Structure 1
Amino acid sequence: MSISSRFFEMKRGRQPITVLTAYDAPTAKALAAAGIDLILVGDSLGTNFLGYASEQEVTLADIAHHVRAVRRGAPETPILADLPYATYDTPADAVANARSLIAAGADMVKFEGARPEIVRALCDAGIPVSGHIGLEPQHHVEKRLKGKTVEAANQLLADAIALDEAGIAMLILELIPEVVATRVSRAIAAPTIGIGAGRETDGQVLVITDVLGYTDAAFRHNRRFAEVGAAVREAAATYVDDVRERRFPAAGNVFAMPKAELALI
């Protein structure tokens, strides 16, 4: 069964699709062991892992590098990779750049905005593609709720239908009212994956650093399932203290020379 067919079947069976981001092999390995359905190598790696000020700074080489790392950590798990900002300005650009991400190990690519012509070009090239509407991190400077008015909600619905008819395998809905996401999810054949889009989408995606509590940032759409940031800070501080106070390394951390060789010194 193809990746697209599997997720369409999950939607038809009302089985929620689980998606998380990952950018490195150890995290990907942990997500695969947890049974995640899909790993997203998203442009969120720029602001969450690479120290960039904006998603627009993420390059195709960045995404490809991290796709390869994730593939090594999760060899059997489907991977969705973001096409970075300005890499899909034309259908030809989208196809060429998507092929490089597929070659790196991705199974499907994603781009932002209501551009059915990009979907058709990728589908014609045999590349599964996910859409992404609502908040578009690459293009919207202000990270605010979208689709709040009737006009905006109707436009999102029309955009989703157009992308669906063009052949998307999946649609990310980010930061839109739950009622709008529900309408979209029921109107299109492709499975919808929500982030801040409520409870009625066909699946959910979150950013791994938000899930793990790497920073003190609190987002309404997120749930902190762990406090890894605090644990890292505590571990690092304890290490620094133990080295400075000569508690580490201890006797159990050192290696002895064989007695016969030691006697020759």
Structure 2
Amino acid sequence: MDLLAGMAEQLPVAVIAELLGVPEADRPLLRPWSNAIVKMYEYGRTTETEDSAERAADEFVAYLRDLAAERRKDLGEDLVSHLVSMRDADGDKLTEDELVTTCILLLNAGHEATVNVSGNGTLALLRHPDQLQRLREDRALLPTAIEEFMRYDSPLQLFERTATEDVEIGGVTVERGQKIAALLGAANRDPAVFDAPDTFDVGRTDNGHITFGAGIHFCIGAPLARVELQASFGALLDRTTTFELGGEPVRRPEFVIRGLETLPVVLG
């Protein structure tokens, strides 16, 4: 089976869709929209890629506006209903555009990294069978293993930030308006921070990785991602006695978002 299609993609999307209140029949729309939109983070984009991202964004926005209109007629307990209630009660707190973009951000940020950690982490286990066996024998290591998946093969390799004022970093002056790229993947292998940074260790406890950012830019979806990842890998270990590579994995062609396009596995 292709683990990405079979496990890694389904749970995160299902959780986010449930939070938003997206009807089950519409949920297959979400992943393709997100995939197209996040390609705008990449370098060397083609016109075709940009057009595809814009179409996906337009379709997603239109869908969410329609969903918000439906919830106005029949409020539920989902996030869209709560945002609609807030919007209608006090438009100064939340505009209609902010309502829509909040939902899009939740989908993109809330599941994209989780999907890629699932694939990257599973591949790391398959290529380090001693660590897989260690995890099977001691499930108490699952929380530290999840952190190591994120550090060892980071799902987001870099992110750009724009200086709001002149600032000196490492003896270099970054002027207001200039962009810098935070190399998250490199930082997570920094030998000044991590002992044996290129070693995959599911029991690593001193693991201060910055996969979810840091400081004022820390992903608010990090706790949810950890819950989803523990559920996914816990189920994988519970329901299998063995699993191994069923063929050569294929990486996604992007650089900023690091993940797998296919991960064939044989489950026992």
TM-score category of the 2 structures, normalised to the smaller one: under 0.3
TM-score normalised by length of structure 1: 0.27
